[in-house]
Structure 1
Protein backbone atom coordinates (compact mmCIF):
# COMPACT_ATOMS: atom_id res chain seq x y z
CA UNK A 1 0.00 0.00 0.00
CA UNK A 2 1.22 3.46 -0.84
CA UNK A 3 1.73 5.98 1.93
CA UNK A 4 -0.17 9.22 2.19
CA UNK A 5 2.03 12.33 1.83
CA UNK A 6 1.17 15.54 3.68
CA UNK A 7 0.92 18.24 1.01
CA UNK A 8 -0.39 21.36 2.76
CA UNK A 9 -2.79 22.76 5.28
CA UNK A 10 -6.45 22.88 4.25
CA UNK A 11 -6.41 26.65 4.74
CA UNK A 12 -3.42 27.08 2.39
CA UNK A 13 -5.74 26.84 -0.62
CA UNK A 14 -8.50 29.37 -1.17
CA UNK A 15 -11.89 28.12 -2.29
CA UNK A 16 -11.97 27.62 -6.07
CA UNK A 17 -8.18 27.85 -6.35
CA UNK A 18 -5.06 25.74 -6.94
CA UNK A 19 -1.56 25.51 -5.44
CA UNK A 20 1.62 23.77 -6.50
CA UNK A 21 3.11 20.90 -4.49
CA UNK A 22 6.51 19.37 -5.29
CA UNK A 23 7.54 15.99 -3.93
CA UNK A 24 10.12 13.41 -4.96
CA UNK A 25 11.14 15.28 -8.11
CA UNK A 26 7.52 15.54 -9.29
CA UNK A 27 5.08 18.43 -9.42
CA UNK A 28 1.43 18.20 -8.43
CA UNK A 29 -1.49 20.62 -8.41
CA UNK A 30 -3.90 20.62 -5.46
CA UNK A 31 -7.34 22.14 -5.90
CA UNK A 32 -10.09 23.30 -3.56
CA UNK A 33 -13.50 23.20 -5.20
CA UNK A 34 -16.35 25.68 -4.67
CA UNK A 35 -17.95 22.88 -2.59
CA UNK A 36 -14.92 22.85 -0.25
CA UNK A 37 -13.58 19.51 -1.52
CA UNK A 38 -9.92 18.83 -2.34
CA UNK A 39 -8.48 17.22 -5.48
CA UNK A 40 -5.02 16.59 -6.95
CA UNK A 41 -3.58 16.12 -10.44
CA UNK A 42 -0.19 16.10 -12.07
CA UNK A 43 1.09 19.65 -11.84
CA UNK A 44 2.16 20.12 -15.45
CA UNK A 45 -0.05 20.59 -18.49
CA UNK A 46 0.05 17.59 -20.84
CA UNK A 47 0.49 19.94 -23.81
CA UNK A 48 3.67 21.89 -23.06
CA UNK A 49 4.55 21.06 -19.44
CA UNK A 50 3.54 24.45 -17.99
CA UNK A 51 2.72 24.63 -14.26
CA UNK A 52 -1.05 24.40 -13.84
CA UNK A 53 -0.86 26.12 -10.43
CA UNK A 54 -0.32 29.36 -12.41
CA UNK A 55 -3.62 28.77 -14.23
CA UNK A 56 -7.19 29.83 -13.62
CA UNK A 57 -9.72 27.67 -11.75
CA UNK A 58 -13.40 27.97 -12.73
CA UNK A 59 -15.85 25.54 -11.14
CA UNK A 60 -14.34 22.07 -11.92
CA UNK A 61 -11.98 23.33 -14.64
CA UNK A 62 -8.31 24.32 -14.55
CA UNK A 63 -7.18 26.45 -17.48
CA UNK A 64 -3.51 26.27 -18.45
CA UNK A 65 -1.88 29.71 -18.35
CA UNK A 66 0.08 29.23 -21.60
CA UNK A 67 -2.39 28.21 -24.32
CA UNK A 68 -5.68 28.14 -22.37
CA UNK A 69 -6.13 24.37 -22.62
CA UNK A 70 -8.62 23.10 -20.07
CA UNK A 71 -8.94 20.05 -17.84
CA UNK A 72 -11.56 18.84 -15.40
CA UNK A 73 -9.45 18.66 -12.25
CA UNK A 74 -11.82 16.16 -10.61
CA UNK A 75 -11.48 13.57 -13.39
CA UNK A 76 -8.35 14.71 -15.24
CA UNK A 77 -10.30 14.80 -18.53
CA UNK A 78 -8.94 17.10 -21.26
CA UNK A 79 -11.73 19.59 -22.02
CA UNK A 80 -10.36 22.13 -24.47
CA UNK A 81 -7.82 22.48 -27.25
CA UNK A 82 -4.90 22.39 -27.55
CA UNK A 83 -4.79 19.71 -24.83
CA UNK A 84 -5.82 16.21 -25.88
CA UNK A 85 -4.14 14.02 -23.23
CA UNK A 86 -5.84 13.68 -19.85
CA UNK A 87 -4.15 14.59 -16.56
CA UNK A 88 -3.42 11.91 -14.02
CA UNK A 89 -5.42 12.37 -10.81
CA UNK A 90 -4.53 11.27 -7.28
CA UNK A 91 -6.55 10.30 -4.19
CA UNK A 92 -6.80 13.08 -1.61
CA UNK A 93 -7.89 12.99 2.01
CA UNK A 94 -8.33 15.67 4.66
CA UNK A 95 -7.30 14.87 8.24
CA UNK A 96 -6.93 17.26 11.15
CA UNK A 97 -6.80 20.29 8.85
CA UNK A 98 -4.13 18.81 6.59
CA UNK A 99 -4.40 17.73 2.94
CA UNK A 100 -2.78 14.38 2.07
CA UNK A 101 -2.08 12.86 -1.35
CA UNK A 102 -1.58 9.24 -2.29
CA UNK A 103 0.92 9.50 -5.12
CA UNK A 104 2.25 5.98 -5.52
Structure 2
Protein backbone atom coordinates (compact mmCIF):
# COMPACT_ATOMS: atom_id res chain seq x y z
CA UNK A 1 0.00 0.00 0.00
CA UNK A 2 1.28 3.48 -0.88
CA UNK A 3 1.26 6.21 1.72
CA UNK A 4 1.78 9.61 0.24
CA UNK A 5 2.34 12.77 2.17
CA UNK A 6 1.06 16.14 1.06
CA UNK A 7 3.07 18.97 2.44
CA UNK A 8 3.13 22.73 2.60
CA UNK A 9 6.36 24.60 3.05
CA UNK A 10 6.38 28.23 4.06
CA UNK A 11 9.17 30.54 2.95
CA UNK A 12 10.26 32.13 6.21
CA UNK A 13 12.44 35.03 5.09
CA UNK A 14 11.07 35.58 1.60
CA UNK A 15 7.64 36.80 0.57
CA UNK A 16 5.57 34.29 2.54
CA UNK A 17 5.26 31.93 -0.42
CA UNK A 18 3.83 28.46 0.14
CA UNK A 19 5.33 25.53 -1.74
CA UNK A 20 2.96 22.62 -2.32
CA UNK A 21 4.12 19.11 -3.07
CA UNK A 22 4.00 15.44 -2.18
CA UNK A 23 6.63 13.06 -0.91
CA UNK A 24 7.03 9.74 0.86
CA UNK A 25 9.52 11.38 3.22
CA UNK A 26 8.59 15.04 3.84
CA UNK A 27 11.36 15.72 6.36
CA UNK A 28 14.06 14.57 3.94
CA UNK A 29 12.40 16.51 1.10
CA UNK A 30 12.40 19.67 3.23
CA UNK A 31 16.14 19.22 3.81
CA UNK A 32 16.67 18.96 0.05
CA UNK A 33 14.75 22.20 -0.50
CA UNK A 34 16.74 24.00 2.19
CA UNK A 35 20.07 22.73 0.84
CA UNK A 36 19.22 24.19 -2.57
CA UNK A 37 18.79 20.92 -4.48
CA UNK A 38 15.54 22.14 -6.05
CA UNK A 39 16.01 25.00 -8.51
CA UNK A 40 12.44 26.29 -8.21
CA UNK A 41 12.65 26.72 -4.42
CA UNK A 42 16.34 27.55 -4.03
CA UNK A 43 15.93 31.34 -4.11
CA UNK A 44 13.32 31.47 -1.32
CA UNK A 45 15.14 29.55 1.39
CA UNK A 46 14.82 28.76 4.24
CA UNK A 47 11.61 26.74 4.12
CA UNK A 48 9.63 25.48 7.10
CA UNK A 49 7.34 22.44 7.00
CA UNK A 50 3.93 23.68 8.20
CA UNK A 51 1.41 21.08 6.99
CA UNK A 52 1.43 17.34 6.38
CA UNK A 53 -1.54 15.21 5.33
CA UNK A 54 -1.39 11.46 4.77
CA UNK A 55 -3.17 9.87 1.80
CA UNK A 56 -3.86 6.12 1.42
CA UNK A 57 -3.02 5.79 -2.28
CA UNK A 58 -0.78 7.50 -4.80
CA UNK A 59 -3.71 8.38 -7.07
CA UNK A 60 -5.61 10.02 -4.20
CA UNK A 61 -2.47 11.90 -3.24
CA UNK A 62 -2.03 13.29 -6.76
CA UNK A 63 -5.67 14.40 -6.93
CA UNK A 64 -5.36 16.11 -3.54
CA UNK A 65 -2.07 17.73 -4.55
CA UNK A 66 -3.71 19.29 -7.63
CA UNK A 67 -6.45 20.77 -5.43
CA UNK A 68 -3.87 22.03 -2.95
CA UNK A 69 -1.96 23.81 -5.71
CA UNK A 70 -5.08 25.87 -6.52
CA UNK A 71 -5.47 27.13 -2.95
CA UNK A 72 -4.76 30.59 -1.59
CA UNK A 73 -3.08 31.72 1.64
CA UNK A 74 -6.38 31.75 3.57
CA UNK A 75 -7.09 28.16 2.50
CA UNK A 76 -3.59 27.10 3.53
CA UNK A 77 -3.96 28.71 6.96
CA UNK A 78 -7.20 26.76 7.52
CA UNK A 79 -5.38 23.55 6.61
CA UNK A 80 -2.46 24.35 8.91
CA UNK A 81 -4.83 24.99 11.83
CA UNK A 82 -7.14 22.06 11.00
CA UNK A 83 -7.36 18.49 12.27
CA UNK A 84 -5.95 16.83 9.12
CA UNK A 85 -2.51 18.29 9.79
CA UNK A 86 -0.35 15.40 11.07
CA UNK A 87 2.87 17.41 11.30
CA UNK A 88 3.23 17.00 15.08
CA UNK A 89 2.63 13.25 14.78
CA UNK A 90 5.21 13.00 12.01
CA UNK A 91 7.80 14.84 14.09
CA UNK A 92 6.86 12.85 17.25
CA UNK A 93 5.97 15.95 19.25
Give the TM-score normalised by the residue count of structure 1. Answer: 0.31
Higher helix share: 2
Structure with more of its chain in strand, by fraction: 1
